[in-house]
Structure 1
Amino acid sequence: MSRLIAHLDMDAFYASVELLRYPELKGLPVVIGGGRRHQPALRDDGTREFSTLRSYVGRGVITTATYEARARGVHSGMGLMKAAALAPDAVLLPTDFDEYRRYSRLFKAAVAEIAPHIEDRGIDEIYIDLSDMPGAQEAIGHDAMGGVRALAQAIKDNVRRATGLSCSIGVTPNKLLSKLCSDLEKPDGLTLLAEGDLEARLWPLPAKRINGIGPKANAKLELFGIRTIGELAAADPQWLISQFGESYGAWLHDAAHGHDTRPVVTYSEPKSLSRETTFERDLHARQDRERLGDIFTRLCEQVAADLARKGYVGKTIGLKLRYDNFKTVTRDHTLPHYTDDAKVIRHAAGQCLKRVPLERRLRLLGVRVGSLCKASEVPAAGLQTGPATSEKATPYTLPLF
């Protein structure tokens, strides 16, 4: 029996969720990445007024964009000011990660109703092992892969029923090829690849399409005249090792030939949970103290809610700051007991804050809870729901926010 591994990728996920909320934007170039001030305004006649990139001023970056916006040259990670020059009339919407996480849970539950062997790879993508699913290995008529094709289509249909969103699926013998194939027919694609199809269907593609070949490696390959997956497959493996190192060089050879033995890992315990935000403008610890304090508290409340929803508690509270010169600092504080209490997390993160310089303006703030344990496995005596006893005598004050 051959392996049948699927990679499911939601189509322009954040943007698609927003189009469910604002259906009048369907078919228009839409960019997600603005702050709260770009929330649509309701007009007197009941219609909505949307911000556009034309009026954007700031240093934000695109989180995602609709396919209509991508056709104009904008893409994830691009600065919004640069995107404004390419697509000034594109609609700009704020990010709403709580809503995206809700839809993420919905689509994964819809997949699990049909195929439960899932590896979670993030908010908008998963791997699915279909090898043992009833009927997946069977042919339907003259279609040797008819059984798995019908199964993958049933998964796509169930995701759309549960969420109203489309996804693209690639099904191949392994994870590496499936991730590559799920991107070939977007949006709403379904791509199946048998072992014998590699040379005809994938070797003509650019080498950078392989997940794991980044910009630096791709640039180096191009210097040697290697631009396609087929050209990479034809390269001598020992030469690749001499140029890229033993491990990565051998991997490049294997990847170009479609070799990947990694299993679908259905579950792994998270090591930490975190929340962070990048400000639209740099904030000063003293001049913007009230705003920073509100953001700080909200991040702690959000990560506490994440812990409660997932059933975890943690002991190590971490703080992350990025200054206006892009230098990033982190600090940790380990509690004597586990907690998922927002006030305890806020207090411990505040202790971390006292240990970092705050003279420069800030562009990012984050809070993390690590050393996680299942809440059900911790006795009540091991939980902390208020400030530690030794700290009660000292009022909780921070030097700035």
Structure 2
Amino acid sequence: MARRIAHLDMDAFYASVELLRYPELRGQAVVIGGGSAHQPRLLADGSRQFSRLRDYAGRGVVTTSTYEARALGVFSAMGMMKAAALAPDAVLLPTDFDSYRRYSRLFKAAVAGIAPHIEDRGIDEIYIDLSELPDDTRELALRIKAAVREHTGLSCSIGIAPNKLLAKICSDLEKPDGLTVVSLDDVPARIWPLAVRKVNGIGPKATARLAELGIATVGQVAAADPALLREHFGLNYATWLGRVSRGLDERAVVTSSEPKSISRETTFERDLHARHDREALSEIFTRLCMRLGEDLARKRYVGRTVGIKLRYSDFRTVTRDVTLPAPTADGAAIRRAAGECLRRVPLELKLRLLGVRVSALSGMDEAAPAKTATQGDLFSDL
């Protein structure tokens, strides 16, 4: 049976969720990534006053943006101050991950009602194996798109192809609200003219090295001398480049998988010092640990290994972890174990990022209750 693999990608997902809440912002440049201080204010006349990007001060990054903001050069992961220089009049909204997760569950449930063979790839994208369904490919995709809109009020873009590689490329070709169906016969006309960065797995470094060789498009990779690619990329990656440039990919849609770890982290608006900002750091650390415990409980996992991640003001990153005698999902126990890890790292420099992770996971129903000793308050002896 010929494979039919779909990649569904929600359109500007976080921004689109916010536009459901604030429909008066439709058609405007909107950037998501602010904090609680950027929450819209409700005025006496019932209208809202929104923050503007030009008033932002800090070192945050853009979480996402509307297509109107992207037209001005503002994209996800861009520094907020750089974004403010490009689009000072753009509306700035705080992130609301609880809402995004809720809409993520809604759209995935809507798809599962039509095509249950789903590989979850994150909060806003999934792969769907349509191979065993009898319906016409395009009609099936339209039904899925209609179900997503009915259940969420949001649009999505779908690419359908014989494999995951091509499906992911194609879901981006006609955004927003796109539908693209390709076969292997379409690769020369539809895929080869694309820039190499459009292929998932060809990152910025590989793109730059290919450019040095005069290779800018997928078709040029396909036409390149294999020996040249091996010389500059090694055997394994060169072989992979040759295959993906021809649209070949045998990976299966994996409908179930167990996570290796679950984590929470935050980047501070300003660098914090372990001694001078002890109270603020302790509060942030406690909140991370408690919410991580809630994440584990909601997903019905417990873990035996608790770790921390610190990034200093000079951008160096360190990690430490400790293994508990029994697995836990208790936020207080995670906090105590994370505190032990914290005492094993130097804290003379200011911190810009703090994270907590629980790994060595097992199902909550399989594990015995944890027994952990109590510890003092974090940062109390610094």
Query: What number of residue pairs does the alignment pair up?
Result: 382
3-state SS in 2 of match to 1:371: strand
Q: Distance in 1 between matches of 2:210 and 2:120?
A: 31
Q: 1:76 to 1:134 in 2, by over 3 A?
A: same
**1:128-163 per-position Cα deviation (integer Å, ceiling 9, x unaligned):** 11000122xxxxxxxxxxx01111111111111111
Q: Is 1:186–2:175 an aligned residue pair?
A: yes
Q: Is 1:383–2:369 an aligned residue pair?
A: yes
Matches of residues 359-378 of structure 1 in structure 2 within 5 Å?
Answer: 359-378=348-367
Q: Is 1:274–2:263 an aligned residue pair?
A: yes
RMSD: 1.4
Long gaps (5+) in structure 2: none
Q: Distance in 2 between matches of 1:362 and 1:41?
A: 32
User: After TM superposition, what 4+ stretches of structure 1 lie above 3 angstroms from structure 2?
Assistant: 394-401
Conserved in 1, the CA contact under 8 Å of 2:310 and 2:354? yes
Q: 1:400 to 1:7 in 2, by over 3 A?
A: farther
2:52 matched residue in structure 1: 52
Conserved in 2, the CA contact under 8 Å of 1:354 and 1:399? no
**1:327-372 per-position Cα deviation (integer Å, ceiling 9, x unaligned):** 1111111111111111111111111111112221111111111110
Letter in structure 2 aligned against 1:149 = R
Q: Is 1:347–2:332 an aligned residue pair?
A: no
1:142 matched residue in structure 2: none
1:124 matched residue in structure 2: 124
Matches of residues 31-70 of structure 1 in structure 2 within 5 Å?
Answer: 31-70=31-70
Conserved in 1, the CA contact under 8 Å of 2:278 and 2:379? no
Q: Which moved more, 1:16-25 or 1:253-262?
A: 16-25
Percent identity of the aligned residues? 66
Instruction: Give the counterpart of 1:164 among 153, 157, 172.
Output: 153
Q: Distance in 2 between matches of 1:293 and 1:396?
A: 8
Instruction: Give the counterpart of 1:152 among 141, 145, 160.
Output: 141
**1:28-47 per-position Cα deviation (integer Å, ceiling 9, x unaligned):** 10011112211112222222
3-state SS in 1 of match to 2:318: strand
Q: Is 1:83–2:83 an aligned residue pair?
A: yes
Shift of residue 308 of structure 1?
Answer: 1.0
Q: 1:169 to 1:400 in 2, by over 3 A?
A: farther
Instruction: Give the counterpart of 1:215 among 204, 207, 210.
Output: 204
3-state SS in 1 of match to 2:88: coil
Shift of residue 118 of structure 1?
Answer: 0.8
Conserved in 1, the CA contact under 8 Å of 2:275 and 2:379? no
Instruction: Give the counterpart of 2:239 among 244, 250, 262.
Output: 250
Conserved in 1, the CA contact under 8 Å of 2:274 and 2:379? no
Shift of residue 398 of structure 1?
Answer: 4.1
Conserved in 1, the CA contact under 8 Å of 2:278 and 2:380? no
Q: Distance in 1 between matches of 2:71 and 2:147?
A: 29
3-state SS in 1 of match to 2:200: coil
Shift of residue 287 of structure 1?
Answer: 2.3
**TM-score, reference length from structure 1:** 0.92
Conserved in 1, the CA contact under 8 Å of 2:302 and 2:362? yes
Q: Distance in 1 between matches of 2:24 and 2:315?
A: 38
1:28 matched residue in structure 2: 28
**TM-score, reference length from structure 2:** 0.97
Letter in structure 1 aligned against 2:124 = D
2:187 matched residue in structure 1: 198
Shift of residue 236 of structure 1?
Answer: 2.0
